Amino acid sequence: MRLDKFLCKSTDLNRAAATLCIELGEVSVNGCIVTEARFQVHENNSIVWQGERLVARPSRYIMLHKPLNTLSSNVDGDYPSLFHCIDIERAEDLHIVGRLDADTSGLVLLTDDGRWSFEIIRPDKQCPKTYRVMLRDPIATDVAEKFSAGIQLQNEAKLTAAATLKVINEREVLLTITEGRYHQVKRMFAAVGNRVNGLHRETIGDLQLDLAVGDWRFLTAKEVANFMAADLV
């Protein structure tokens, strides 16, 4: 982790104040002064500030049921930030693991553990995500086969990875994908001549949303560890 982030996780400093302390030469790593905020450190390093060896606070892992018309951002824009749903100290230290569009609801993960979030979003991990999709038109009978084989998205050369489609009724389906391309679900249905009217993420990996809209909870140790397994698919 970056040295400035370590200071934020082990003190009451914000990122700007931590960076200033580092640049002023107030922080040592294994007995050597370090003046670069981006310097990489590990929890087992001896990191000292103001004569005290620092110990990082435990990382936090959170599940949130994102409401519609909220932004996957820590600042407000055209819609309010989803961070308004979370009543927790130092919420600004959290980042979102796999964002959702403002018009999409459902499961969002938040953490201050960068290595853990990378394990979820890195492409070779192929972490499955399941979406409940409401469609404008009845689903065609050949769409499941097309999605399983991979389809061509507009302005992209590479076919989508195999995806699984389960039909609930003619205008409601469950789609499981293992990629995270830009607006992927909406573009996949556009590519087969349909339109997404509603989108809700139900699962990430084997973690299933179990909260009311706007609610959040900490993940269990087992739920956190499951994402570090070698394979999710």
Q: Is 215 a catalytic residue?
A: no
Query: How far is 141 from 9, CA to CA, in rounded Å?
Result: 52
Sign, CA dihedral 120-180-61-216, equals negative
Q: Quick one: angle between helices 15-23 and 3-10, nearest 10?
A: 120
Q: Quick one: tokens of 175?
A: 């789609």
If one counts every other C-beta atom within 10 angstroms of the C-beta of residue 78, the result is: 7
Of the residues 12, 78, 101, 137, only one is catalytic, namely 101
In order of 35, 43, 83, 172, the CA distances from 175 in angstroms are 48, 39, 27, 10
**Hunting for tokens 């679900």 — which residue is that?**
185
Active site residues: 101
